[in-house]
Amino acid sequence: MKKIILAVALLGMVACQQNKIGYVDTVKIMTDYQEKIDMDAKYKVKADSFTKKRDSISQAFQIEAQAFQTRAQKLDPNKAQEEYALIQQKSQFIGQQLQQEELGIQQSNQIEMDSIVSKVKEEISAYGKANSYTYVLGGGDGGAVLYGTEADNITELVLNILNEKYKK
């Protein structure tokens, strides 16, 4: 009889135990996380530098092409055709080189972004475990949380931890 009462009491305690649920506004995290802000600034510098380089190369090539057009009028048609083919090859080569460089910048940025997203996920998971959350949901644009009380919002807590760790 004592075992049955103890089992019912234990079952009642387990049934009364509630899940601890929190949520994180992932958009806010990615907007205000200092490492992400720094990465965006670094990428902008690289992108601006690439744009200037591309514009400079394009402008120099265009001057060269215009000079050829002027010269081509005085050249033998066969010689003009040969030079035109060389200019086309050079144009394609320059285009491919610039495209490769731009792709490299984009891939580098994506790798860094993936790393940041992993750090954020790991930190949210660690925070959830350390603070006995059963679930931590993602909110923000396109997130899984359509409504949550501010008491369940752990965004600022996680964001502060991420930024403190990044400072170190």
Domain that holds residue 48: 18-167
Whether 5 is covered by a domain: the verdict is: no
Per the domain annotation, does 61 fall within a domain?
yes
Specify if 22 maps to a domain: yes
**Alpha-carbon dihedral sign for residues 39, 40, 41, 45:** positive
Q: Is 144 a member of any domain?
A: yes
pLDDT, residue 15, reads 43
d(CA 91, CA 34): 41
Tell me what pLDDT residue 110 has: 97
pLDDT score at 4:
55
Which residues of the chain fall short of a pLDDT of 50?
6-15
In a domain, 63, yes or no: yes
Mapping DSSP to helix (H, G, I), strand (E, B) and coil, where does residue 60 land? Answer: helix
The per-residue pLDDT for 13 is: 45
Q: In the chain, how many domains are there? A: 1
Tell whether 162 is covered by a domain: yes
49, part of any domain:
yes
What beta strand segments (E) does 8-153 contain?
21-25, 135-139
Domain contains 115: yes
